[in-house]
Structure formats: C-alpha cells, structure tokens
Amino acid sequence: MGFANNIGKYQLGRTIGEGTFAKVKLALDSTNGKYVAIKILDKHMVMETNLMNQVQREIRTMKLLNHSNIVRIHEVIGTKTKIYIAMEYVSGGQLSDKLLYSKTLSEGEARKLFQQLIDAVDYCHNKGVYHRDLKPENLLLTSNGDLKISDFGLSALRKPGDLLSTKCGSPSYVAPELLANKGYDGAAADVWSCGVILFELLAGHLPFDDSSLMNLYKKISRAEYRFPHWFTESQKKLISGIFDPNPKRRLTIPEIIENEWFQKDYIPTCGNDSDEKIYLDDVNAAFDSIEENVKETKIPKSSSFINAFQLIAMSNDLDLSGLFEEQYNNKQKIRLGSQHTINETMRKIEAAAMDVSLSVARTNNFKIKMHAKQGMTRCCRSYIDMSAEVIEVAPAHCVVEISRSAGELGPYNEFCKSLTSQLTEELGDSSQMQESEVHHIESKSIQESEGSEKTKSTRIDDHRGYSSS
C-alpha cells in the first residue's frame, strides 16, 4: 500500500483524511501487523490557534475510556514540530455518511446502533466524562456495522451532579438547557443528543431544523417537533420521554435501558477496565516542549486569532449574531464586527478615541487602554477607564471587544458611536447608528466564513470520520 515513512513502530501510508489543523494517515503497526489511524498535528498551528488545551483534553479523555463502542487511542508521539496520535482504525466511515445514502434505517438496525450508543454514553458518564457533541458525524462504524464514539474535543470531566457552564455542541443536537445562561447537567444534555440521533435514524431527518438559527432554538426550547406517520407508539413514547425540555423530568439512561422498545434483542456492552493500566506519560511528553519549540523556530504567533469554538464561547448563546450586537443586559462590555484587517482596525480604534478626546496606550499588539486626557477637568469630561481588544477571525474580519472597567457611561457610549462610524464609513449604510444607542454591525462575511464551523471542530473531508481538532 506504499508505506514510505516511519514514526516509532508505525509505518505511515496514504492519507485518509485532511483538515485545517490535522492530517490523518493510515499506518501499519510493525509489531502486530494491524492497521491504525495516525492523526498528525503541527505543533506551531496548535499553539497559534490556541488549541493545545482542547487537543490535550481530547487525548487524555480518550485514554481514560476503554469500551468496545468508543474509539481507542493507543499512544501519542511528539517530535520537535509534530504530534502523532495513534488511534484505532475504524474502516466503516461516519454514521452521517450512511444516513446520506440510506436515509432511514430499519427499526432493528436503528435500535442496535442506539443501544450501542447508550451503552457507550453510560460508560462515559460513569467515568465522569460528558461528551457534549454527540452527532452522526462523531459516530463511526466498523466494517461489521458496530458503532464507535469519537471526537472528545468538547468533552468535560466532572463528578456526578456537578453542573457545567460552557455552551458547546451542534445546534440541531444541543439540549434546550444549554440555550439558557445557567448551569446544566452534562448527562441530561448528552441524553437529549442521543434522542435526536435516534429520531434521525428512524425518520431520516432531524426533529428540530430551521434555516433561521433563532427559530431553531425556539423549536428546541419548546420541544416542537412532529413524528413521521410510520413511527410506532413505543418509539413515540421513548422519544417523547427524552425530548422533555425540563432536564429533571427527562428520561435518564437507566430509564432508557429499561424501556420495552430498547430492551428488544438487547446485548449489553461493557467497558474493559479490569487489568489495563492507563499511561499518560506519552501525552505529557508530547506537549511539554511545545511552547519552547515554537519560540525556537521564531514563528510569529498571533494571539489575536480565535477558532470557531472560541468564537461561539464569546456569545451569550450559540447564535453568532450575539457577537455583533450590544449586550443590553451588561453595559460594561460590547462587541463590534470589523470588516478590516487587524492593523486597520487598531488604527480606527485610535482614531475613534482621539475623536472623543481620549488618550490611548497600547498594552500589546492587539489591545488598547483608554482614559480621559490629562488636563481635562471633571466638569467637562467624566472619568473613564476602558479598553478595546481586537480578535482576528479571518484576515479581513475582526471582532472588537470594548470594556469599561470604571467611570460613567456617557464617554463610553460616545466612543462606541465614534468607533462604529469609523468601522462602517467605508462599508456603506448596511449598519446604521441611531442617536441614542449603539446598534449592531451586521458582519455577513464573518458569519459565512465561520458559519459551517461554528459548532464543531474542523471536519476532515473524507469518509473515514476522523476529526481534526
């Protein structure tokens, strides 16, 4: 099959997947002759895109899990410039690919996959691991049609009963409680996603779907969906119990397992934790020198760049439009969109500050502190202490976060109005400022460039189903 390079005991072969941050190659373990999948990450890219913690979390979490329905990581190898993750090779591709050409599955096949999914998720929860991004793209199939969960990049490790706060996941699969500004139970959120997957397996389409993200959220929050006419009463009863908007009333995994429809032809699968010792030394070694290596090669690191996950996390809900509108519930901070390069955006911030008689001082390449100019009396200018930070989303698209740590609201609003005018003066009248308040700047190009990535890690364009975080 054309093995050309070696890394450790693995002979690297052809590329079976490639994404923005990683490449996946088929490899042969020379010690036992078995195939593995090797995910290759560039250390510099991991650092530049602030993904080190996410990658480490995914690797360590998957090393803790040893279940027949979860993709296994064998070992991690680090070189000066690369990180090699040797993992189980799953040849059947993604469940999402199967749904594309099969549309609906037979009741028996759907039930088998759902049983394996629930067993694997139950095992994760018993280990204190909550996946938080369960969807067909993250479910792989073996050559025998068995299911395996992959991509734990958004997972959380918590004690049972502890609430989570980070909002993440894919819109159509996210639980309603994640749309509120409150803590949520990771187990209940995963159960909801499992219910969406079961519905999709049986119906051939999503239960909650809409071209408008906000309308989609409303449907999810109210659990507005319709069963296809071919659904049986037992299927409806199970799915209705899962789709309870109140997580405290939602069916739990033990209750799902006891369900009559679920129990048919059920063969439980368990974890294999008895004798195997877990080693994390290779993970630590692979990442220990990552920062030093980046410094040695003197590659400029843009601390202003963010990925889709961080972009979503900045919003008050999963809707990216929240980034570009004033946060009326909190007058201390707003975010504006800029369709200019990062340097041009910085110049416009400085110009806006001068326009309202504020002095500026750059604290780093992408952050500016502002306060009233010395010599101005309190009667003509209120005291103000504020800052503006620019975050690069794309080469010609930025997010400007304006924060007021002290002082009155008047100067703060004046600066926001001036900056909005600076940012929009060359872009036409698509976003207008009213006299009394700061309105949001529509940044369609930002949404288009990030829209397909806003709730998931970069997906490798290959039918093998390996994600590149």
Summarize the annotated binding site for ATP as residue ranges: 39
Residue 385 annotated in active site: no
Q: Is 341 exposed, middle or buried (0-12, 13-18, 19+ CB in 10 A)?
A: middle
Phi-psi map region of 98: left, alpha, beta (phi>0 left; psi -120 to 50 alpha): alpha
Q: Which of 133, 151, 190, 282 is catalytic?
A: 133
Q: Give CA–CA dist 203/235, Å, rounded.
A: 11
CB 216 within 8 A of CB 118: no
Q: Which residues contact 33 (CB under 8 A, 6 or more apart)?
A: none
Structure tokens at 145: 């049609």
Query: 282: helix, coil or strand?
Result: helix
Q: Is 22 exposed, middle or buried (0-12, 13-18, 19+ CB in 10 A)?
A: buried
Q: Give CA–CA dist 418/119, Å, rounded.
A: 56
Q: Give CA–CA dist 153/141, Å, rounded.
A: 19
* Phi, psi angles (nearest 5°) of residue 236: -60, -40
* Phi, psi angles (nearest 5°) of residue 81: -120, -15
CA geometry: angle 461, 308, 165, nearest 5 deg: 120
Structure tokens at 68: 């027949």
Helices in 322-461 by DSSP H: which ranges?
A: 342-355, 409-424, 444-451
CB 201 within 8 A of CB 110: yes
The DSSP secondary-structure symbol of 293 reads: H
**263: Cα separation from own chain's centroid:** 33
Phi-psi map region of 452: left, alpha, beta (phi>0 left; psi -120 to 50 alpha): alpha
Which residues participate in catalysis according to the annotation?
A: 133
